[in-house]
Structure 1
Amino acid sequence: MLNHPPKILLVDDQPTNLILLENLLQSEGYDTVSATSGMEALTMAKTSTPDLIVLDVMMPGMNGFEVCQKLREDSILQTIPIIFLTALDDDRSKLRGLEVMGDDFLTKPFKNDLLLTKIASILRLQEIRSQQFQQEIKEKTKKQLSAAWNINLALSEKLRLFVPDQFLHRIAPNGVESIQLGNAQEEEITVLFCDIRKFTTICESQSPSETFQWLNVFFTQMNACIIANHGFIDKFLGDALMVVFDRPKSHPQDAVNGALMMQQKIVKFNSDRAKYNLIQPINIGIGIHTGKGIIGALGADSRIDSTVIGDVVNTAARLQELTKHYECGIIASESVISQLHPSEFFEVRWIDRVVPRGKQHAQDIYEIFESGVKLRS
């Protein structure tokens, strides 16, 4: 049985028809989404993953038969049941509906009971087939499972300790075996650089094993703040972190929230620093910038690495360096600040208009700090 109300995508270029269908199906406990064109229907099918589609045929641009054919060519969407609901009542149209592999064909005006019965029957049949298929796959998997498969699975899990899932989705779209040099995506992201102040001085007062111990604790705590705000660590750079936030339309806010949480976590870390033979409290500087970047597999044929390339990375690194000069805990660029939502939890202060090292154009930079607390590095 489905563990959620079945979702039905309704496609018709006439709003009155959609309202009629929505009222009818919602009264029977179905969840509905609607589209008024063929192109919109394809987009919604990909984003809403309906359990069934009720599809008009005569629509401008792309007719229902063409929509059905596109869906059947999509490996993810091709098994969604489709009921044609159309004013067409000729044999040629019905034959065309069968040719594009529609599941049923009803003509307008339709009888409510007939439509509801067909929907319920098709959904039940689809569920039975799905259960049978899943059982067959399960049994086949058990039979084919071997030591080699177990080893490969273990290696894949270990790989995630070195390469975050967000990278794997981009550089290995069809599984780990599909990783290859050059796999990449360009998109807008927010990059955060975090650096420990006076790290060299700290190391001079400790043994390498002591430094190694507290660094792992420090990175673990910072990583928890990053994950909690939908980011992922791209690289550990000795005493520094390069972090990527990529949640659509939310990554600048996520990065700022993560940075503030990291600053708060440092307070707790410093309260326990005696465990790690740390005489002075640890301070960090954070730089944040939003812009276009390439996320992908970079390197040579025999050695590749997952990474982010672009001006967004260089600028974030330069802003982190400026935290030392301006004695700020967090510095962000205008591209970040312009996308933040007003909040009672943090404040923003304009610092200066500067040309960061290695750059050619001046930009405004801002300090971000927790409300009521002036954070200094």
Structure 2
Amino acid sequence: MLNHPPTILLVDDEPVNITLLECLLRVEGYKTLSATSGIEALTIAETSIPDLIILDIMMPGMDGFAVCQKLREDSNLQTIPIIFLTALDDDYSKLRGLEVMGDDFLTKPFKNNLLLQKIANMLRLQEMRSQQVKQEIKEKTKRQFSAAWNINLALSEKLRLFVPDQFLHRIAPNGVESIQLGNSQEEEITVLFCDIRKFTTICEGQTPSETFQWLNVFFTEMNACIMANNGFIDKYLGDALMAVFDRPESHPQDAVNGALMMQQKIIEFNKGRDKYNLEEPINIGIGIHTGKGIIGALGADSRIDSTVIGDVVNTASRLQELTKHYSCGIIASDSVISQLTQSEYFEVRWIDRVVPRGKQQAQDIYEVCGKSTPPTNKPLMLT
């Protein structure tokens, strides 16, 4: 039922009729509003929105049928129950009342109990319909929310194909909606660059579709090696990739393990290279460096990208380039080698002390040759 006294609008051009109805209805606990013309009734209905209207038909200016028709055309008023209360008793008037969608038709003089019962039933039915509509809206909203939630989950999963979780929790700490230009964190990380040797020459002997096919397989294999060692790929650079390792206190070791696994995967990949129309085996060069970097959202207001900025990135890239000059597969900086833990035995070889291109300070660089069982008290072997 209504949680407030129902308001009934009384419309009749005879004030005495309105007075009689007011006395009858107020005793039953109803609130009343009154109008003596159709125009006045429409104005009051628009401003007060009554729960029910008792409407006379024969009125000067605008009769009750016209008033009812206007009410049914107003989206805010069209569902208000309307009882015609009139001296008219002919079939044409009753039919006209149905045509303009009146809810009931009573002829004067009327029986008080009959009018009161009709009012009570109509208000109760209106409340039931209102509750049903509310429930339908609630169910529809629930379905829409569920659909939106599923879409959001699907989009989030798709977003992870472009932006790894390790980036998201830094640039979107409060969910995807919180991503904004400048969100970032500075921390010590290890960056790995991997490049395919003689890629241009390889592409010359293939169609673009063939190159695209084996590149996707290649990157899938490399990504698996990186993820298996707690890293993530920051970006693909045509024939190269940049990966980040950020596990606290273990990222240099993770990066070296990842690089060695990548080399092993290349051997397996090359065994099946014929199906990709690759005449020569694929070779890669890997550079690894540890240092401070900023992981964040970079770009412009209308276009941002997740990335890593810092000297650690530039140095790792330069070390990868040096693998060509020194003819070796993996080159790591002294900052990487010095932090390798004693839990694993890496075979590394000092190569040179160099000033990488674009740098000013010299640093020792090492070739990572592989792993073996560590001898007692010799966790790291430098040759």
TM-score bracket for this pair, using the shorter chain length? 0.5 to 0.7
Deviations 1:269-291 (A, max 9, x none): 00000010000000000000000
In 2, the alpha carbon distance for the partners of 1:357 and 1:206 equals 32
Pairs aligned (count):
233
| Correspondence list, 1:79-118, <5 A | none
Letter in 2 for 1:194: C
Shift of 1:346: 3.1
Q: What percent identity do the matched residue pairs reach?
A: 87
- In structure 1, give the amino acid aligned to 2:171: I
Residue 162 (str. 1) matches residue 158 (str. 2): no
Range that drifts further, 226-235 or 342-351: 342-351
Tell me which structure has the larger Cα radius of gyration.
2
1:19 corresponds to which residue? none
- Written as runs of structure 1 = structure 2, the 5 A alignment for 1:202-221 is 202-221=202-221
For 2:303, the equivalent position in structure 1 comes to 303
- 1:270-321 per-residue CA deviation (whole Å, 9 max, x = no partner) reads 0000010000000000000000000000000000000000000000000000
Letter in 2 for 1:266: I
SS for the counterpart of 2:173 is coil
Deviation, structure 1 residue 326: 0.2
The aligned counterpart of 1:261 is 261
Amino acid of the structure 1 residue aligned with 2:146: S
Gaps of 5+ in 2: 1-140, 373-383
1:185 — aligned with what? 185
Q: Provide the residue aligned with 2:38 in structure 1.
A: none
Residue of structure 2 in register with 1:225 after alignment: 225
Q: Residues 317 and 284 (structure 1 numbering): CA distance in 2 closer, same or farther, change over 3 Å? A: same
Structure 1 residue 351, shift from structure 2 partner:
0.3
* Structure 2 residue aligned with 1:349: 349
Secondary structure in 2 matching 1:206: coil
Partners in 1 of 2:210 and 2:226 — Cα distance? 25
1:278 aligns with 2:270: no
Could you state the TM-score of these two structures normalised by the residue count of structure 2? 0.59
**Pair 1:364 & 2:361 matched:** no
User: Match of 1:146, SS?
Assistant: helix
Matches of 1:142 and 1:331, distance apart in 2: 57
Superposed CA offset, 1:5-29 (max 9, x none) = xxxxxxxxxxxxxxxxxxxxxxxxx
Greater Cα shift, 231-240 or 339-348? 339-348
Q: Which amino acid aligns with 1:246?
A: D
Q: C-alpha distance in 2, partners of 1:371/1:173?
A: 38
1:142, CA displacement in angstroms? 6.6
Correspondence 1:133-144 to 2 at 5 A: none
Query: How far off its partner does 1:356 sit?
Result: 0.2
360 and 264 in structure 1: CA distance in 2 versus 1, 3 angstrom threshold: same
What is the CA–CA distance in structure 2 between the aligned matches of 1:330 and 1:371, rounded to whole Å? 13
Q: CA deviation at 1:218?
A: 0.3
Alpha-carbon distance, 1:370 to partner = 1.5
Q: Which segment is superposed worse, 275-284 or 333-342?
A: 333-342
User: Any idea what SS the aligned residue of 1:145 has?
Assistant: helix
What's the counterpart of residue 97 of structure 2?
none
How far, CA to CA, are the matches of 1:299 and 1:322 in structure 2? Answer: 30
TM-score, structure 1 normalization: 0.60
Q: Which amino acid aligns with 2:353?
A: R
Quote the residue 1:321 is aligned against. 321
Equivalence for 1:128: none
Matched, 1:194 2:182: no
Q: What is the Cα-based RMSD across aligned positions, in Å?
A: 1.7
